[in-house]
Amino acid sequence: MRDLDDALKALSEFESLARYGIYPGKSFEKIEHKDNWDSFNFASLEFKVGQLTVEAHAHASDTGGYLDVKVWDFSEPSGNARKFAMVADAEHVARVVVDYINGYEATV
């Protein structure tokens, strides 16, 4: 079982890597950290970049240290709002999310 310190470290690493990788001029908005460890066994991070919302969850049951990440565009109809979801280690997830954000923002 993953402990809270490991979960928060993975979320912090993901946030730092994602913040570093997005295009200059773009910034994180509405950064929100949640610790639901005692009641639901997960910690989470949510932030917005442009019109995209990124959610990352670190679950206690994940012994591999992975994060569950989803990217949303809530300006889309509800059936099309989720742009992608993945589960991987913090570094890989950050690379994919940054590439997606930079590509998406370049086309908007």
Whether 69 is covered by a domain: the verdict is yes
- pLDDT tens-digit map of 73-95: 999 888 899 999 999 999 999 99
With respect to residue 65, please indicate whether it lies within any of the assigned structural domains.
yes
The count of domains in the chain is: 1
Pairing of strands 29-36, 82-88: unpaired
Average pLDDT of the chain to the nearest whole number: 90
Examine residue 108 and state whether it is found in any structural domain, yes or no. Answer: no
**pTM score, two decimals?**
0.89
DSSP-assigned letter for residue 50? T
* 105 belongs to a structural domain: no
Question: Which of 59, 60, 61, 68 shows the shortest CA–CA distance to 89?
Answer: 68
Residue 107: inside a domain: no
Residue 31 exposure: Cα atoms within 13 Å on the Cβ side: 9
